[in-house]
């Protein structure tokens, strides 16, 4: 059986879930649902990253112990994903015992193999990123991501011989062009690897930071948070048993934004090499959501919280916007205007109207009973073919993680269905008694268009798809039926009267 292992980053518990975390988690969920629908066994991992300076500092600022603080925020992440209907298979916390144990086992193994040594290091440390920067990487002396001046830290640490694996990583990237995608991020990593790679400091002295996993070979040091967190992708599978590990590793598709490209594209593969494990299948890197071209921040009061979005717009409408608006790999702008326009235009008007017109006519003309199909006319075949074409295109776009293009293709078919109504004019020809059987046929084809949409939409808008199946009177065990167009509905099968799928949104002065 085909399998895929999909992961989100383990989110830091120093902030509550916002738009950015939600986007990555939603695309992960969409991919999982999509692969499942294709008959692929998919496992989705998400969770929280809880050790390190950043969390210790946030806990302190909140007057809590790091553990109590991590417990609290991690629970918020989990509850949020539950509320959002994210179909994850496992929620990992880097403070889980099995994870800590695995990190120590890997450290011990790499240490014994001679790839970890003790040395002194001085460098510019950004707490926001939890990593050292070289002078060259800083922009006007500041961290390019956080725009803060990093602290200069000099201390004795353990180092991972990352440099030893530079050549092998470079060769792997050259021989596997889709290991890191889209291409621009692969290009960035290749450029980086053409410069000498430094070894990675992987410990912090306990005297400075004790919120971390102790090194198994030196109790005076704790593990650097990235060396700890990255191993989550494997620790969970090992925890579930050797067969689970064998089944899903290395079929990993990691999903991240560009902020954490370096740890995932350089630290992680070299760590896997040193641990004697095969590399992941793909590292999939998306861009940033920006707010009217600025950064989302608490102090600016423009943080987008997923549960607020669910309440105000509905989860599926919010999902639709995120998936439709961002071309995977590029930055996208979040604005309430754009969100409301898309919901009103694509969901309420275009798709919502199609469904309600068809169900209303079916009700009014035939009391909801599906009519028999006669001979197909050219426009009927064209409608069916348009949906088949959309499905084919969606497959290609999903393989390239182009969610927005997949939805665009489907909406092309939905537009076509709306035009089919105008072209065939069932509401006009119904007036002639002799034309009534044809009206029944037209509506039958339109119900097929809605049934096909419900199927193709399921990974993207799962609640809407369920609602559509209910309206169409399709039972749970029939939802995945791929019976050909025209042979699903028996004559006399009852569909429901319309109900509003996507209410029109009136702006309320959001910015």
8 A C-beta contact, residue 347 and residue 501: yes
Which letter, b or e, does each residue of 337-376 get, where b requires 16 or more Cβ atoms within 10 Å of its Cβ?
A: eebbebbbebbbebbbbbbbbbbebbbebbeeebbebeee
256 binds ligand ME8 (CB under 6 A): yes
Catalytic residue among 60, 176, 298, 311: 298
**Residues in region 57-86 near ligand ME8 by CB under 6 A:** none
Catalytic residue among 32, 84, 100, 129: 129
Query: Nearer Cβ to ligand ME8, position 201 or 371?
Result: 201
8 A C-beta contact, residue 318 and residue 85: no
229 binds ligand ME8 (CB under 6 A): yes
Least Å from the CB of residue 219 to ligand ME8: 25
244 binds ligand ME8 (CB under 6 A): no
Catalytic residue among 126, 286, 397, 455: 126
Least Å from the CB of residue 330 to ligand ME8: 11
257 binds ligand ME8 (CB under 6 A): yes
Q: Say how far apart CA 282 and CA 223 lie, in whole Å.
A: 26
Least Å from the CB of residue 294 to ligand ME8: 11
8 A C-beta contact, residue 14 and residue 58: yes
Crossing angle of helices 315-325 and 403-424, in 10° steps, is: 110
Nearest one of 170, 241, 213, 259 to 51, comparing CA atoms? 213
Residue written as tokens 């009852």? 494
Residue whose CB is nearest to ligand ME8 in the complex, by number: 20
Q: Say how far apart CA 458 and CA 84 lie, in whole Å.
A: 15
21 binds ligand ME8 (CB under 6 A): yes
10 binds ligand ME8 (CB under 6 A): yes
Q: Say how far apart CA 412 and CA 209 lie, in whole Å.
A: 56
20 binds ligand ME8 (CB under 6 A): yes
Query: Nearer Cβ to ligand ME8, position 55 or 449?
Result: 55
Binding test (CB under 6 A) with ligand ME8, winner from 5, 288, 420, 460: 288
Residue written as tokens 């665009």? 408
Query: Per residue, what are the HEC states of 185-246?
Result: HHHHHHHHHCCCCCCEECEEECCCCCCCCEECCEEEEEECHHHHHHCHHHHHHHHHCHHHHH
Q: Say how far apart CA 398 and CA 121 lie, in whole Å.
A: 44
Least Å from the CB of residue 144 to ligand ME8: 15
Binding test (CB under 6 A) with ligand ME8, winner from 165, 289, 328, 366: 289
Binding test (CB under 6 A) with ligand ME8, winner from 4, 5, 23, 78: 23
280 binds ligand ME8 (CB under 6 A): no
Contacts of 406 (CB under 8 A, 6+ apart): 393, 394, 397, 398, 460
Please work out the total of residues on this chain that contact ligand ME8, with binding judged by CB under 6 A: 19
- Is 84 marked active-site? no
From the list 15-23, 152-160, 174-182, 453-461, the region that binds ligand ME8 by CB under 6 A is 15-23
Binding test (CB under 6 A) with ligand ME8, winner from 11, 35, 132, 320: 11
- Is 298 marked active-site? yes
- Is 295 marked active-site? yes
Nearest one of 303, 306, 386, 290 to 25, comparing CA atoms? 306
259 binds ligand ME8 (CB under 6 A): yes
H-helix segments, 242-330: 242-248, 261-262, 268-274, 306-313, 315-325
Least Å from the CB of residue 77 to ligand ME8: 9
Query: Nearer Cβ to ligand ME8, position 49 or 380?
Result: 49
- Two structure tokens written together for 119: 């040395």
- Two structure tokens written together for 364: 């009014």
Residue numbers annotated as active site: 18, 21, 126, 129, 143, 146, 295, 298
Contact residues: ligand ME8, CB under 6 A: 9-12, 20-21, 23-24, 49, 229-230, 232, 256-257, 259-260, 288-289, 296
């Amino acid at each position: 059986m085909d399998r895929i292992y999909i992961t989100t980053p383990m989110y830091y518990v120093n902030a509550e879930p916002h738009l950015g975390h939600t986007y990555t988690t939603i695309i992960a969920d969409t991919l999982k649902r999509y692969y499942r629908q294709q008959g692929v066994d998919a496992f989705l991992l998400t969770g929280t990253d809880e050790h390190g300076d950043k969390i210790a500092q946030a806990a302190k600022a909140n007057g809590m112990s790091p553990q109590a603080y991590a417990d609290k925020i991690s629970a918020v992440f989990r509850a949020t994903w539950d509320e959002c209907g994210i179909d994850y298979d496992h929620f990992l916390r880097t403070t889980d015992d099995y994870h800590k144990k695995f990190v120590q086992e890997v450290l011990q193994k790499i240490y014994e193999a001679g790839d970890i040594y003790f040395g002194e290091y001085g460098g510019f440390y950004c707490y926001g990123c939890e990593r050292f920067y070289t002078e060259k990487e800083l922009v006007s002396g500041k961290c390019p991501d956080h725009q803060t001046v990093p602290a200069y830290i000099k201390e004795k640490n353990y180092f991972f011989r990352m440099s030893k694996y530079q050549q092998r990583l470079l060769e792997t990237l050259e021989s596997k062009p889709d290991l890191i995608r889209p291409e621009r991020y692969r290009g960035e990593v290749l450029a980086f690897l053409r410069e000498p790679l430094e070894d990675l400091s992987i410990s912090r002295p306990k005297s400075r930071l004790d919120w971390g996993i102790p090194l198994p070979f030196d109790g005076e040091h704790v593990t650097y948070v990235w060396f700890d967190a990255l191993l989550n992708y494997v620790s969970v599978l090992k925890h579930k048993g050797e067969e689970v590990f064998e089944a899903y590793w290395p079929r990993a598709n990691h999903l991240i934004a560009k902020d954490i490209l370096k740890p995932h594209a350089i630290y992680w593969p070299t760590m896997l090499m040193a641990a004697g494990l095969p590399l992941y299948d793909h590292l999939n890197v998306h861009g940033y959501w920006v707010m009217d071209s600025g950064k989302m921040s608490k102090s600016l009061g423009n943080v987008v919280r997923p549960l607020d979005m669910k309440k105000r717009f509905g989860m599926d409408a919010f999902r639709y916007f995120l998936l439709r608006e961002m071309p995977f790999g590029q930055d996208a702008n979040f604005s309430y205007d754009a969100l409301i326009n898309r919901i009103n235009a694509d969901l309420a008007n275009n798709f919502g109207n199609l469904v309600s017109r068809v169900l209303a006519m079916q009700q009014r003309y035939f009391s909801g009973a599906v009519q028999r199909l006669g001979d197909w006319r050219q426009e009927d075949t064209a409608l069916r073919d348009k949906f088949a074409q959309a499905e084919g295109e969606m497959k290609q776009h999903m393989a390239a993680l182009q969610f927005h293009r997949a939805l665009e293709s489907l909406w092309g078919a939905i537009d076509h269905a709306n035009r089919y109504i105008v072209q065939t004019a069932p509401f006009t020809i119904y007036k002639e008694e002799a034309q009534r059987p044809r009206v029944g046929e037209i509506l039958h084809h339109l119900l097929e268009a809605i049934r096909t949409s419900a199927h193709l939409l399921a990974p993207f808008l799962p609640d809407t798809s369920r609602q559509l199946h209910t309206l169409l009177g399709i039972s749970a065990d029939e939802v995945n039926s791929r019976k050909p167009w025209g042979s699903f509905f028996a004559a006399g099968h009852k569909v429901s009267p319309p109900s509003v799928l996507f209410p029109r949104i009136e702006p309320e002065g959001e910015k």
